[in-house]
Amino acid sequence: MDFALSSEVVEFRDEIRSIIREFVTPEIADRMHTTGVFDAPELNLELGRRGILERACPGLGKGDPIEMYVMFNELEKAGAPYDGLAVALMIAAVVNKLGTDEQKERIIPSIISGEALVCMGYSEADFGSDVASIKTRAIKDGDEWVINGSKMWTTLAQVAEWLILLTRTDLDLPKHKGLTMFILPMNTPGITVEPVHTLGTEITNATWYDDVRVGDDAVLGDENGGWRTMTTVLAFERGVMGGTNAGVPLLRHFHEWAVANGVFDEPTTRERMARSIIDMQVATLLTMRSAWIAASGGMPGLEGSMTKVFAVEAYQRASRWTQATAGPAGLLQFHEEGAAGEGFVEYDARHSPVMSIYGGTTEINRNNIAERHLGLPKSR
């Protein structure tokens, strides 16, 4: 095995690092927690302006396909707000893979320039893990589709330009087969957005669709092929677009605090820290493996499930022990005097539980591993 990035990728990484140094200021990190929007438009525009988004986007970029992993890993380790970028690039990649030429021309440039964000309408109030059972309907009416229903957890809907929307188009087909994915502008008439405030400060949304009318040009992938479009998106999400090294900035913040307060020499703390650092290495190696599989032309769906289960639980372990070790200081929030890790210890204890839920719960991922890797019978 070879673990060295090629010199071109090292150069790419160094460019990202210099952009991070310039654009990911404490003010920007602070803004994500006060606005609840995990996105930094100025950072996206700079990455777009320099051609980095195009280069990193799977299928589009001319660079080493491992660069997408490198970019998100750098952003995540730096504690940058990158959720908006991750979803947007994921969708750009899917449009590039499954979209028509017209869709590619119309949609992709707005994303890889760093201007447009995308939100995802999959889950509904009653259908989360069982997303194939969703009820939002799209019915053909002449040349148009009429969409009615509602979605939950439509994160970034309040700022996104595009929406991808999973709908039911055929009631007679089995549940996975009667679905169609659409991609449409968020300013299409009939869409309503209401905020949902969350424990981890991110503001997500509930969205409603009342007689939303779109043309065939809004169908992403095949009619009744929505499940395939969906799994293509998820294969990217569970793979390499961040979400696997969230403990790195936490450990850094905790360490600074513990040293400054003279409590870092405690052997228990040092050992826990060392073990969390092992976890972070393993998490990044598993992520790198997904990136390498994708770079070799494979689809790292199963490996993505494995990475996510491990990385998320490693982050949760790190969050648990750092807060427990900090004691009262671990309860204090951002900007409070004496807050452990400048408030990150408290924040990560609120943010980490979200990670084993969104983008596929750890249970769904374990089902996936049990069935597809271990060959055990379907349990549901």
Partner 1 sequence: MSVDLGLSPDQESIAELFNGFFSNEAPPAVARAAEPLGFDRELWNKVIELGAPGMGCAVEIGGGGASLGDLVVVAETVGRSIAPIPLIDHLAALSVLSDADLVAGEVIAAVAVRPADANGIWSLVPAGAVADVVIGVDGDETVVVRSTPPMSGPRNHGSMPLADRSAREGSRTVLGPASLFEVVLNRWKLLTAAALVGIAEAAKELGVAYVKERTQFGVPVGSFQAVQHGLADLPVAIDGGRLLTHKAAWALDNVTDGLIDWANNEITDGSTLATMAFLFAADGAVMATDRSLHYHGGYGFAEEYDIQMYYRRARGWSLILGDSTSVGLSLADRLFGTVEG
Binding-site ranges for partner 1 (CB under 8 A):
1-7, 9, 64, 66, 77, 245, 248, 251-252, 255, 264-265, 267, 270-271, 273-275, 277-278, 280-282, 284-286, 288-289, 291-292, 295, 303, 306, 309-310, 363, 365-367, 369-371, 373-377, 379-380
- Dihedral sign for Cα 217, 221, 226, 231, please: negative
Cα separation, 350 vs 80, whole angstroms: 17
Q: Coil, strand or helix: which one is 77?
A: helix
Residue number with CB closer to partner 1 (64 or 124): 64
Residue number with CB closer to partner 1 (78 or 166): 78
CB distance 308 to 362 below 8 Å: yes
Q: How far is the CB of 63 from partner 1 (least distance, A)?
A: 12
Q: Hunting for tokens 């679905």 — which residue is that?
A: 179
Residue number with CB closer to partner 1 (80 or 91): 80
Residue number with CB closer to partner 1 (99 or 341): 341
Strand partners, 208: 150, 192
Q: How far is the CB of 255 from partner 1 (least distance, A)?
A: 7
Cα separation, 222 vs 248, whole angstroms: 40
Residue type, 44: N
Q: How far is the CB of 129 from partner 1 (least distance, A)?
A: 13
CB distance 143 to 150 below 8 Å: no
Q: How far is the CB of 370 from partner 1 (least distance, A)?
A: 4
Residue number with CB closer to partner 1 (91 or 235): 235
**∠ CA(85), CA(365), CA(167), 5° rounding?**
60
Q: How far is the CB of 302 from partner 1 (least distance, A)?
A: 9
Residue number with CB closer to partner 1 (357 or 370): 370
CB distance 247 to 275 below 8 Å: no
**Backbone angles phi and psi of 11, in degrees to 5:** -65, -45
Q: How far is the CB of 166 from partner 1 (least distance, A)?
A: 26
189-212 exposure pattern, b = at least 16 Cβ within 10 A, e = fewer: eebebeeeebebbbbbbbbbbeeb
Q: How far is the CB of 76 from partner 1 (least distance, A)?
A: 10
Residue number with CB closer to partner 1 (146 or 370): 370
